[in-house]
Structures are given as structure tokens and as C-alpha cells.
Structure 1
Amino acid sequence: MSDNSSGGNTGAENTGNAGTESTGNAGTGNTGNQQTVLNYMLSNKVEAGLWLTRVFTVVCTVLFFFPIIGDNPYGFYQRVFISSAATSALRLHQRLPHIQFSRQFMGMLFAEDSCHYLIFSLIFMNSYPITMALIPVFLFALLHACSYTKNLLNVMGPQSMQIIRSLIDKLTQQQINILRFIACTEIFLMPAVFFMIFVGKCSIFLPAIYYRFLTLRYASRRNPYCRTLFSELRMTIEHFISRPQCPGFLRNALTKGIALISRLAPQVAH
């Protein structure tokens, strides 16, 4: 009897020790992962800062549409563009770290997509809320934030957070469609801005400033989707007006509209 009791106590002690060691190892593993991720972020503070501002942009956009915190959605609207401007400025500094007061540098500056969206963010930061204007900054922030998040997950381990990895992979598969949708939004914001003038919601200078932004996007070297969408829209309209069923007055109006937009389009070097 005494031998059996002794054996039972020994088993309990072993089980207790194993449990303690297992818990200790799990805690050490979690702490190690946190330290590894933190070290990875500290090794490139600019990229980590960009990730944080982009996540903040995404969160503020969601809170604008679903104001579960606070009672003033306009505050989140402004924060979206403030954080987007911070992202663009930080990215611009990363691309062009040395400021120069020369024509060549200004050309390089305005050729950068981050400069385009710095202008975009400043345009809409203090304007009357235009929900459509949130779409490009939200989607760009989401795409880039997901890319860096996947790097963090890789640092944590190849099997970490599979659900988040799956969501990121699905989003990445739709990247081209998302970029095309962003370009479409950039284009159709122009008539929306004009409409805002007639209802007294924006300054008469806003369309002129936004037109400048749109020409920069059209001439972008790294992102051709705006230029591609313009071409596709033109071909679609030309196909429509070539049909016999198209009324004459509408054909004339659309033809003049195409000619006007073609004259306003900037020259793009190929």
C-alpha cells in the first residue's frame, strides 16, 4: 500500500513538473516571438513607422463609416488624411532623402506617387467630407499594411496566425483589381468635385488643384492604371457613340468631351 501511494505521489509530482516546464516554455516562446518582432521593427524604424501610420489610416476609415467610438465622424475623416499625409511625407523622405532647390529635383519630386498622395491628402484634409475621397487612401494603406504585416508574421514563424495569412493572400490576389478600382475612383472624383461647387460644399479652387493631382496620376511612371482607365473609358465611349442608336446631340456632346479631355491630358514620355 505504501509503495503504491509513493508511486502515485511521484506521478503527480512528475505531472506537475511537466506542466510547469511546458507553461514556462510557452511563455518563453511568446516572449521570444515578441522580442524578435520588436527587434525586426527597430531594425528599420522608417518601415515600421510607415506600417503604423497605414494601420491608423485603415482604422480611422473604418471608424468613419462605423462610428462605434465617439460621436463625430468628421474627426475620423480628418485623421484619415492627416495619417495619410504623414505616410506620404515619410515615404517621400525615404525616396528622396536629400532636398535640393533645383528644377531637376522638383521634377523628381512630382514624379513620385507619394508626392501625389501628399497633395491629395492636403486637398481633402479640411474639405467638406467626401466619402469617395477616402477610398484611394484607405485601399493603398490596406495593401501596404498587409504587405508589412506578412513580413511580421514570417518573423514570428511560418505557421503563425494562419487565418490572417489567408486573408492577406486573398487580398494580394486581388491587387490589380484594387489598383484599377483606385484609378477609377481618382478619375470620377473630378466630376464629384465639380458637383460640390454647385451645391456650395467646396471652393472654386478645389477643381483646379485636383486637376493638377489627376495630371500627375495620369503621368505616373510607377502606376499606369489611371492612364489605362482613361484609355479604356475613351474606347468604351467611342464604341457607344459609333452605334446608330446613339442620339445625335449625345454623340456631339461626348465627342467634344473626349476632345477636351484629350487636350487637357499631359504629355507622357514612353
Structure 2
Amino acid sequence: MSETDANSESTSRRGLNIDALKVHIFTHKIDCALWAIRMSIIMFTIGYFIPIFGSSQSAYNKALIANAAVSALRLHQRIPQFQFSRTFLAVLLQEDSCHYLFYSLIFIYDIQPVTIVLMPIVLFAILHSASYSLTLLDTLGQNSWWGARLLISLIEFQSLNILRLVAFVEIVLMPFSVFLILLGRARLMTPFIYYHFLFQRYSSRRNPYTRNMFRELRVLLESTATKPNLPGFVKSLLLGIVNFTCKLAPPAQLNPNNQ
């Protein structure tokens, strides 16, 4: 028996179908590339906190660039044919991938890295890479890597909470970006540009989590403002925040019939 045959037999005994995995990779090149880039986002984020291979600044920028690459590939999948038209631009701006391509471009040129900026992209990377990792494991064999399958199951079980956390961070980044200007860690235009990103997230047709989180925060602030022991100036502040935010919301979303 040749060495190649022996290795194939050994792999087969372990229940790993390497040939099926190779076929899957060649058949689904873009999906596998997306998985690999999302895994790199996770590694770059770890490298930002633990700068073993390079500086934190470099890992931060690479994570944002990798997220931009994921968004661009997803846009290519969703809208393969580019057109110079107002209709195409309107369709493009409705895509969540376009929103996060815009997100990466907003923060990659800021003065200093901001840790909270990485949270949405790494959480999305964990959620989506976990889902596709299960597909790859199924291709390898039903009994392969049970520990990884358990971890994936835990991530998928928490998927709703992960998406809600992403939406919360998206919202918090709006006032936080203003605070960053005062600290000299962001450009003067960052909050104005980020507002357009948040506007698109609120209007998203496929992802209602940002819109729902706005609603939950509004209910929380209004219910807090009705507490009898709350000082008057705090009550006015909370209601002022709610009213100001509602004025900035897309007009179509203010009409309950459009929900």
C-alpha cells in the first residue's frame, strides 16, 4: 500500500471526508472566502487586544479592512451587476452589506482606534462564521469536531441576543462619536457621517433589530421619566433625548402603518 493510500485510509478511519471538503471549497469559493475573511476579523480583533503579531493600530485597521472586504463580497453576491443609475443606488443603499462597507470607511481613517467600533463587526463575524463552520463540519462528516459543534450551538442559541447587542452598540456609537471629538480621537465630520449610517440601519428592510432597539430604548427612557421620585431636570432631559431622537428618525418609520 502506498503512503498516499495509507494517509487516505487513516483519514477515513477518523471519519473526516477531506475530499468532500475540497469539492465544497471549489464549488463555493465566495462563501468559503467569506468564512475565511470573517475568521480573520476575529483573529485581528484578538490581535488588537493582545498585540502579539504587530501593533494594536495595525490589527484594528486590518479588522476594518477585512470587514469592508466581506461587505463588498456580499454586495457582489446580492447585486452582481453594477449600474450607473439612481434606481441601482437606491437598491444598493438598502443592503445591509452596503451599510457596513460604509461603516468600515467611516472609522478606518479616524485619529485613534476605538475599541467599541470593533464590537459590531466581530460579533457579526462570529455569528456568520459559526453558521458556515457548521456547514464545513457537516461536509467533513457528521461526527467531526463535536467540541466545535457544541460551541457553534451555543453561539446560534444566543444569536438573537448577539443581534440585539450589535443594534445597541450601533446606537450608542452615535453620541459616543461626539464625545470622541471632544477627546480629539475622531474627525469633526465623523458624527455627521455616522448619522447617515445609523439612518440606513434604522430603515433596513432585512434587519429590524436597530429599529426595534430604538423602540425599546424609547420605552425604557419614557417609563423611567414617569417615576415619581425622579428629579424634574432628569425627567426633562430624558424626554428631550426621546423627542430629539424621534425628530431625526426616518419619516416613514414614524407612521405606525408603515411598520
TM above 0.5: yes
Distance 2:103 2:118 in 1: 10
Spell out structure 1 runs of 4+ moving beyond 3 A.
21-24, 27-32
Match of residue 33 from structure 1: 17
Match of residue 175 from structure 2: 191
Q: Deviations over 1:153-212 (max 9, x none)?
A: 001110011000110011100000000011011111111110011111111100000000
Task: Please point out which of 146, 164, 176 is paired with 2:160.
Answer: 176
Task: Please point out which of 109, 117, 132 is paired with 2:100.
Answer: 117
Match of residue 199 from structure 2: 215
Instruction: Note if 1:236 corresponds to 2:236.
Output: no
Match of residue 139 from structure 2: 155
Q: Which AA in structure 2 matches 1:175?
A: S
Task: Please point out which of 235, 244, 247 is paired with 1:260.
Answer: 244
Shift in Å at residue 251 of structure 1? 1.6
Q: Deviations over 1:12-43 (max 9, x none)?
A: xxxxx9xxx98762146679722221210110
Q: Which AA in structure 2 matches 1:260?
A: F
Q: Which AA in structure 1 matches 2:157?
A: Q
Match of residue 29 from structure 2: 45
Match of residue 59 from structure 2: 76
Identity %: 40
Q: Which AA in structure 2 matches 1:87?
A: V
Instruction: Note if 1:137 corresponds to 2:121.
Output: yes
Distance 2:9 2:180 in 1: 61
Match of residue 89 from structure 1: 72
Q: Is the 8 A contact 2:74 2:97 kept in 1?
A: yes
Aligned residues: 250
Shift in Å at residue 107 of structure 1? 1.2
Instruction: Note if 1:104 corresponds to 2:87.
Output: yes
Q: Which AA in structure 2 matches 1:187?
A: I
Greater displacement, 212-221 / 244-253: 244-253
| TM-score, with structure 1 as normaliser | 0.88
Greater displacement, 173-182 / 41-50: 41-50
Q: Which AA in structure 1 matches 2:61?
A: Q
- SS state of the match for residue 210, structure 1? helix
Structure 1 vs Structure 2 CA RMSD: 1.9
